[in-house]
């Protein structure tokens, strides 16, 4: 899912349902951003509902990721635990690249 300016991407609404993320699962996510992401935020939950009280930042090998030049974010659960995942990515490229700003 993207915002209208294609500067933000998220896998699902934060309220869920979140993506099922069992051990060794690999997602190939097409981010559709105007440029490569400059920020990626990954949160995990033990339940499918994305209630804010259920999400916690991922750490270690719970979610390995990288961005390729073709516009994909690769996300892997390299742990032995089962989770649900929410990924948010954004780029710093302005919404209107022709607006250089004038002061």
Which tens digits make up the pLDDT trace of 67-82?
A: 998 899 999 999 999 9
Please state the pTM of the whole predicted model. Answer: 0.84
Contacts of 13 (CB under 8 A, 6+ apart): 1, 50
Confidence band of 5 (pLDDT split at 50, 70, 90): confident
As given in the structure block, the two tokens for residue 26 are 């690999």
Residue 99: inside a domain: no
pLDDT at 97: 53
Q: What is the CATH number of the domain that holds 45?
A: 2.60.40.10
Residue 17: inside a domain: yes
Q: How many domains does the chain have?
A: 1
Give me Rg for the CA atoms of the chain: 15
Residue 3: inside a domain: no
Confidence band of 52 (pLDDT split at 50, 70, 90): low
Give the range of the structural domain holding residue 12, as residue numbers without chain letter: 8-90
Residue with tokens 């209630």: 51
What is d(CA 32, CA 37) in angstroms, rounded to the nearest whole number? 10
Q: Is residue 40 scored above 90 in pLDDT? A: yes
């Amino acid at each position: 899912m993207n915002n209208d300016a294609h500067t933000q991407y998220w896998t699902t609404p934060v309220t869920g349902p979140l993506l099922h993320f069992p051990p060794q699962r690999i997602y190939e996510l097409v981010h559709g951003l105007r440029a490569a992401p400059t920020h990626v935020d990954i949160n995990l939950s033990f339940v499918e509902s994305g209630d804010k009280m259920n999400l916690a930042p991922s750490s270690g090998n719970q979610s390995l990721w990288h961005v390729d030049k073709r516009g994909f974010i690769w996300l892997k659960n390299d742990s032995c635990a089962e989770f649900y995942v929410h990924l948010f990515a954004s780029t710093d490229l302005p919404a209107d690249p022709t607006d250089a700003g004038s002061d």
